[in-house]
Structure 1
């Protein structure tokens, strides 16, 4: 049986979906019912980076409009 006909068999696909691709690393146990969440890291970095980005963007606009008073092509990017 060649590879194409084996992969076109629905029972082969069903058996492949019920097993992991690789075993976990030594010393690790998979926990699919209660996985570790890392969303707090995304929220923390967003809470730090977003205000900094807005502050420095506002300072750049202030310098361009209030102090230098010139608008060039690179400001529209």
Structure 2
């Protein structure tokens, strides 16, 4: 693990408040929430999208979950500095 660099779009400054575990834990949190919410979101979208609601929901969450997790991780790190 000696050759591990910083995460993308992160500064090289590392301190007590910086940890990639913040990003990892927020990603796991949002992914678990997405898995729980998929049936409800798909059933809500089914009135407009019909049979493709589940596919659209999964594709949307695959895009949305990492964006939200990264944003939350950056927010937490900024608040700790």
Q: TM-score range by the shorter chain?
A: 0.3 to 0.5
RCO higher in structure (CA 8 A, sep ≥6): 2
Q: TM-score, normalised by structure 1?
A: 0.33
Question: Which of these two proteins has the greater Rg computed from alpha carbons?
Answer: 1
Normalising by structure 2, report the TM-score. Answer: 0.32
